[in-house]
Structure 1
Amino acid sequence: MRLTAEQQAFYREQGFIHLPGFLTPGEAAAYRTEVHAIAATTAARDATWSSVKGGTQLTHCHDVQFRSAAFTRLLVDDRLTGVARDIIGPNVQLHHTKMFVKPPEKGSPFPMHQDFPYFPHRDHSMIAVIFHFDDAPDAKGCLRVYPGSHKRGPLPFEGSDHHLSEAEFPLGGALPIEAKAGDAIFFSYLLAHGSGLNVSEEPRTTLLVQLRDPADPPLKEGHGSRGQGMMLVGVDPTAGQFAFAWESKAA
């Protein structure tokens, strides 16, 4: 799967692209099963932000490819790497992964934010990919975005969770991107985005993958991951002289 010229132009202008049917219904169902198995059998944590009030919950877990081989295969799937190359360039490197389950009737919202403050990079090559493993209508707290906001660059943020001004970027004023199981959404880490409360009777299940150009240096380290630096397509032009892992740790 590759983006057409029109889709690439849309991404550059709007800061995101919604790709329906990126995965087959069967694939989405299988990944959904894997996510819920991880949530049920590992120490998944509540990721509800400090600025969110009320008794809501959001189950999440990082580094899912170390818990299920299904996600290792997904990371190097030609469909993912093909679209990522069209956005980032010929070399695509993994930054981190995390799964989210918004439970029924009380699934926590995400206030509007940019991903930039958490792991800023010099050239802003960082993108996010959201894989939907079940339907995500607005009632489930689907992704909401401010199209074109990525063009403004890094924005001022508030609070310990780095959310954007609610006066300037109200969650209710953002564009809802309702999705079906199997859909994928690619977006810039500078895009103002968030998601609403899940008030439905079903969970919302997603996987988030953050990708970058390996030649784009981080301005500070953040969201460290055991898988960080893994090349998904292409090569790392910044790779230095070979050393065994235990040698580099000793250094």
Structure 2
Amino acid sequence: MLQQFQAISRWGVIITFLLLLLSLLYKDRLPDPDYYEIGRLVDPVQESTYRSPFWIEAEGQRYYVKPLYDYALEGVVVSFHDADSFGDIWHHDRWKDFLNVRDLCVIWGANVSNGVYREMSFDNDSWTCWAYWPDAQTGANFSMTQLSNNHLLVSDDYVKEALMSAEPGDHIRISGQLASYENPSNNFKRGSSTRRDDRGNGACETIYVENFEIVSKANVRWRGVYTFSAWSLGLSLTAFLILFFITPPVRKPTRY
């Protein structure tokens, strides 16, 4: 009986591992343009703000936040970076920045409607979004004025939970203020771009997020398969290892 359970668990490991690999290929694939409500993916709205500067605390650090403009952005997530991710030595260790919890690289407008993003790849490091195209024609079809890398400042737990659930391909909406902020205890300061056509250092938008919404979630089925297969693989592997050690070896019949 134990041998049968061991065989079942072995097949469970193989099948769930293959499912995990397959779902990894598809769960973050950017959907076709038809998936999105293109009419909503317009240029960000930037208006004068009446909000005064304020102090806020996170993880024992106090930050002075100065709102610059009210700001609303609706677009498609193409990549992201978490401040607490492995290998990020800047946000928490060097800058003591616990307010900027995540960066989202977002596209909108013609960059979505013409489908050019499907021929490209995107990546985030600790403070930059990188866009790559395979040839000059693809690059010509892509507008860097309809892409932004957004440093997102969050103090509300509910907003943070929604933000951290965003994944590549999701249609999202952010509202709050473009802002500069600083930590007087270590003289860390960061500003914000206030225009969409700048480039290089300082071109990212820093947004104090008041509201965050996932308008539509991409690749729901594949992400479900990924979650299911990851848990199932762990359970199957655990069962296989336990059975491996407790199952007595099969004795071959002895001929006399």
TM-score, reference length from structure 1: 0.26
The structure whose RCO (Cα within 8 Å, separation 6+) is larger is 1
Which of the two has greater helix per residue?
2
Q: Rg: which structure is higher?
A: 2
